[in-house]
């Protein structure tokens, strides 16, 4: 049984899928000049921050396994996104990505991974690293695999189909 102090230290989290939720899904995005934010995406992250929630990104990046770009490109894009969010006083607490795919062309990335959604590995890893109140946490994704990953990790999952992420997320923050 956890103590009241431990419960107090725990915070809810919002787990965001990246492509199709935070930014337009153009397929195998790795260049910042091609990133187009979804309407309200930056403001949604700021709302999550302002409510005291953790903000996480969990994204499959099979383009690495397919040889289309390197892990360094994913990290550079995430750094750029973090800088852009910082301009409005928003932040992501952790970016997690899975570079693996069982049909990859790059041998070291050609594998089944417990971190690739719909598996819950990225979410579970974050739940271990951060003091997250899972009961009050949720994931926002745009694909059934995102929702499946959330459920497998014991979280609520919400399917986002547009048009404005802030409008979608704000009422969910009040439900928790």
Catalytic residue among 7, 17, 25, 142: 17
The residue from 19, 93, 142, 146 that is catalytic is 19
- What is the crossing angle of helices 71-86 and 41-50, to 10°? 70
Report helix, strand or coil for 39: coil
Residues 6+ apart with CB under 8 A from 73: 30, 31
Report how far residue 132's alpha carbon sits from residue 144's, in angstroms, rounded to the nearest whole number: 23
How far is residue 65's CA from residue 160's CA, in Å, rounded to a whole number? 26
Q: Is 17 a catalytic residue?
A: yes
Could you list the beta-strand ranges (E) of the chain.
13-16, 54-60, 94-98, 138-141, 156-159
Question: Which residues touch 175 (CB under 8 Å, ≥6 apart)?
Answer: none
Under 8 Å between Cβ of 22 and 77: no
The set of catalytic residues is 17, 19
């Amino acid at each position: 049984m956890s103590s009241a102090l431990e419960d107090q230290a725990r915070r809810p989290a919002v787990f965001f899928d990246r492509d199709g939720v935070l930014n337009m899904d153009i397929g195998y995005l790795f260049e910042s000049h091609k990133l187009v934010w979804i309407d309200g995406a930056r403001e949604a992250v700021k709302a999550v921050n302002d409510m005291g929630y953790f903000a996480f990104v969990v994204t499959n990046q099979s383009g690495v396994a397919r040889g289309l770009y390197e892990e360094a490109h994913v990290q550079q894009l995430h750094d750029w996104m973090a800088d852009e969010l910082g301009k409005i006083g928003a932040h992501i607490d952790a970016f997690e990505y899975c570079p693996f795919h069982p049909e990859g062309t790059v041998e070291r990335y050609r594998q089944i991974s417990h971190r690739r959604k719909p598996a819950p590995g990225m979410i579970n890893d974050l739940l271990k690293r951060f003091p997250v109140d899972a009961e009050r946490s949720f994931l926002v994704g745009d694909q059934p695999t995102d929702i499946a990953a959330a459920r497998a990790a014991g979280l609520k999952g919400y399917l986002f189909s547009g048009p404005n992420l802030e409008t979608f997320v704000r009422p969910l923050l009040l439900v928790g």
